Amino acid sequence: MRLKPDSIQRRLLFTASVMLLVFLGVTGWVLDQTFSRSVINGAQQQLQLIVYALMGAASENNQRLIFSDNLAEPRLAQPDSGLYAIVTNGQGKTLWRSRSAVLTDIQGGGMTTAAAGGFVFSEWHQQRQPPRFSLSHAVTWEGVEDERVVFTAVADQDIYRQAIADFRQRLGLGLGGLALIFILVQAAALRWGLSPLLRMQREVGELEDGTRDKLSEGYPVELRGLAVNLQRFVIHEHKQRQRYSQALDNLAHSLKTPLSVLRNALAEPSPPPSLLEDQIQRMQDVVANQLNRATLAGPVARGSRVEVEATLQRLVAALRTAYPQIDISTALQTDAYWRGDSSDLLEIFGNVLDNACKFSGGSVAVSAETVELERVMIRVVVEDDGPGIDADNRDEVLRRGQRADSRAPGHGIGLSVAAELVDVYQGELLIGERETGGARICITLPGYRAAIS
């Protein structure tokens, strides 16, 4: 598995590995210190038992101490066995030493500092001798020439240091192997955890190459919002390209007829000026219409934050001035906002509200609310008390240039522009009938909850 230097996976793996190594290092140090202390304490307890055994084996005879040959520890009778014992008086004179210490240079002069009734444990270092542990215990023994007697047990450190070294080696191998396993498992877990990001990266690359039309589904909740926005952006770009293509095709098709009329008219000796003006105006209208169709949608993935309720209030205030005879009531209860081009939102609601005022019998009702569907949506309903729109004509009025009623002035493109914009922003525009008669336009757009500070 090759990781790029600037990848998130490499950063997480490096950080977690450093923390793991620090944790295991501290744990290993604590375990090493604990084990070493326990080994040294075990040596001290063993030497303490030897001292008690010496004291039990000692007896007084003619103001001198004599010791039984039957000692509890057989290593004291083995020369250079690594366990030694020596008894001295208050002046450091050797009174007795074990057979194991006969061939050694162990001296008792440095053991006279032991206080009576107490134990003194120390690491004993003498020239040309291996390091040893010693435990001295001074007692007052009545009836002997020098009543102060120091019992000392000595043990080579090699066996204990070897045990500590073996433990350190096993501990290092164990913790090192554990760290390696943790790092490998951690790398696999990170790769599995970041696999949705890698999948999204691969799919975005396929989108750029043109080998994929849309992102797949099944992303985790943390990436679902990003995937939805990316998908909306892809759909928007695809529709934008389609609009450009359709606009060019429509423009070429629509200009054929007026161009043919102009060509035929110019072939005549004196073409009628009204005919020429009419065809030129028609061509201008065709060009303007197709340009408007091609550019009517703004960016949907990276739009500005637009307050829907405030936009509706501004439009209603303007329409109350333009249509003073119309009673426009509002019930705006939405706490969500919309992302996109604010001019597109004004175009959507402006056309719908303007149509409602034109065809109403005297009253228009506007309501807005936030609804929870698969995601947060903003629902705006515009109702009027006019003649309404027949069910057979509802699809027709959403096509550019088509009108269900020619009594009011206009070009028949208001609802079609609104419907096209709503579709671009992944929304829905439905035409229905008001319960008390009249038209009911319901617009649903994706929304976002306002951040709570």
pLDDT of residue 207: 80
pLDDT, mean of each 10-residue run, the chain (453 residues): 64 86 92 92 89 82 75 79 85 82 65 62 74 86 78 87 91 91 87 83 81 80 80 77 71 68 73 72 70 56 76 86 87 86 81 88 92 87 90 76 42 67 87 88 87 43
Euclidean distance between the first and the last CA atom of the chain, given in angstroms as a whole number: 43
Q: Kindly state the tokens that stand for 106.
A: 């162990």
Beta strands in 114-268 (DSSP E): 119-124, 132-140, 148-156
Q: Kindly state the tokens that stand for 180.
A: 């390696």
pLDDT of residue 110: 46
Write down the pTM of the prediction.
Answer: 0.49
Q: Kindly state the tokens that stand for 79.
A: 């020369």
Q: Kindly state the tokens that stand for 352.
A: 């719908």
Cα 381 to Cα 366: distance, rounded to the nearest angstrom? 6
> Over the stretch 178-205, which tens digit does the pLDDT of each residue have?
999 988 988 888 888 888 888 888 888 8
Task: State the sign of the Cα–Cα–Cα–Cα dihedral 130, 135, 136, 141.
Answer: negative
Return the closest-CA partner of residue 99 out of 82, 83, 76, 81.
76
| Greatest Cα pair distance in the chain | 164
pLDDT of residue 301: 47
Q: Kindly state the tokens that stand for 145.
A: 């020439």
pLDDT of residue 442: 94
pLDDT of residue 378: 92
Cα 84 to Cα 362: distance, rounded to the nearest angstrom? 118
Q: Which residues contact 289 (CB under 8 A, 6 or more apart)?
A: 400, 413
Cα 173 to Cα 310: distance, rounded to the nearest angstrom? 69
- Percent composition of the chain: helix, strand, coil (DSSP 3-state, to 5): 50, 20, 30
Judge whether 173 and 150 are in contact, CB under 8 Å.
Answer: no
Return the closest-CA partner of residue 307 out of 226, 370, 357.
370
Strand 119-124 relative to strand 94-97: parallel, antiparallel, unpaired? unpaired
pLDDT of residue 383: 93
Cα 18 to Cα 27: distance, rounded to the nearest angstrom? 14
Return the closest-CA partner of residue 352 out of 443, 446, 290, 434.
443
Query: How far, in Å, are 81, 112, 180, 328, 352 from residue 108 at the CA level?
Result: 18, 8, 51, 113, 111
pLDDT of residue 281: 76
